[in-house]
Chain A
Amino acid sequence: MTLPAEYLATPRLPLDEDGGPVFSAPWEARIFAMTVKAHEAGVFTWGEWAEALGAELAKDGDGSGETESYYDRWLAAFETLLTAKNVAAAGQLADLRKAWDKAAKATPHGKPIVLENA
């Protein structure tokens, strides 16, 4: 699976030999896919995304591009960009996290966790 050419401009994106993305956990694939979909929906340009991610990665002193920490920063950059774009209002993501936490704790193990009403 290869990616559109513009995505290859993403700073330090881990790729496999076929030019596809590499993940070390399911959530990483999920946040990657969400970024692609939000971009396709016109929330930001890929250039803006590359810049936001680059800024987040620049906070990392030694630049050792381990896959795990890379997507931790990806997640932080995505939250920052959505807030900067006013897609997320102040406190909104924190409220949603709390709602999911509450939903999880109220869900018996083995049942899908559903957010009733955020």
Chain B
Amino acid sequence: MSAHDHDHPHDHDHSELSEIELRVRALETLLTEKGYIDPPALDELIETYETKIGPRNGALVVAKAWTDPDYRERLMKDATAAIAELGFTGRQGEHMVAVENTDDIHNMVVCTLCSCYPWTVLGLPPVWYKSAPYRSRAVRDPRGVLAEFKVELPDDTEIRVWDSTAEIRYLVIPKRPAGTDGWSEERLADLVTRNSMIGTGLALDPSSLEDAA
């Protein structure tokens, strides 16, 4: 079952902000116009909370997919349901699609709107993810972007870039690192970085955990 089988059921040609988002943006505009807040300084403060949204639920999803073939199959078939099995559901009921890295294919996710980030599984979007250079270059020059993230892939690895929509958010399942046979899900989850689930990183090498211990 490939993620390519998924078609877009709706043709949404405009953006939509939820009632809550409208209220938050209205407040930000007001406070900015009055000179009480400076948007770059606000972003900087929010960045310090980046890891503070929920636990990194996505890492547990990936670790389970690595260890449980049945779960992996359910995840590839219907990621929304498989992720919900673990108790992680989004407030807006967004549709999740899992894309799996293999020896031949590397997946990478981009979106031009920060609201199109699967924060229920990945937490807060990093600032670079929302930045214009990443958004435009990820599509045009994925290899160059990956190099900046210190990810070097073999020349014959195909890179697939997935553009999220308001309805569909992607979760990259990175390749399971070698040398992790018999590891528990919890231990494996420590190897799954946020960037590896966006596709701008790989899962950590087991030796990196030994260094930290």
Q: Which residues of A contact B (CB under 8 A)?
A: 1, 16, 20-34, 36-38, 41, 43, 68, 72, 75, 78-79, 82, 87-88, 92-94, 96-97, 99-101, 104-113, 115, 118
Contact = CB atoms under 8 A, between A and B. Distances in A.
Given A115-B29, A118-B29, A75 B24 contact: yes
Contact of A22 (B31, B38, B45, B52): B52
Contact of B36 (A20, A78, A87, A115): A87
A23 B30 contact: no
A40 B33 CA distance: 16
The 6 closest A-B pairs by CB, nearest first: A96-B26, A41-B36, A110-B112, A97-B22, A37-B37, A104-B17
A109 B27 contact: no
Nearest to B16: A104
22 contacts: A20-B52, A25-B119, A26-B53, A26-B124, A27-B21, A27-B24, A29-B52, A29-B53, A33-B46, A33-B49, A37-B37, A37-B45, A38-B31, A72-B20, A75-B27, A99-B26, A99-B29, A101-B17, A105-B15, A109-B12, A111-B112, A113-B17
Nearest to B37: A37
A34 B28 contact: yes
Contacts, number: 148
A106 B14 CA distance: 6
Given A24-B54, A79-B23, A115-B25, 5 more contacts: A27-B21, A33-B42, A37-B42, A97-B23, A110-B112
B13 interface: yes
Nearest to B92: A25
By size class, the interface of chain B is 35 or more
B41 interface: yes
A36 B54 contact: no
A32 to B, nearest CB: 8
Contacts of B20: 27, 72, 75
Contact of B26 (A68, A93, A106): A93
B48 interface: yes
Contacts of A79: 23, 27
A99 B22 CA distance: 9
Contact of A113 (B15, B36, B46, B119): B15
B91 interface: yes
Nearest to B41: A37
B26 A112 contact: no
Contacts of A110: 111-113, 163
B31 A93 contact: no
A28 B91 CA distance: 13
A31 B24 contact: yes
Given A26-B119, A109-B165, A96 B52 contact: no
B49 A34 contact: no
A60 to B, nearest CB: 17
A59 to B, nearest CB: 17
B124 A87 contact: no
A16 B55 CA distance: 10
B170 to A, nearest CB: 15
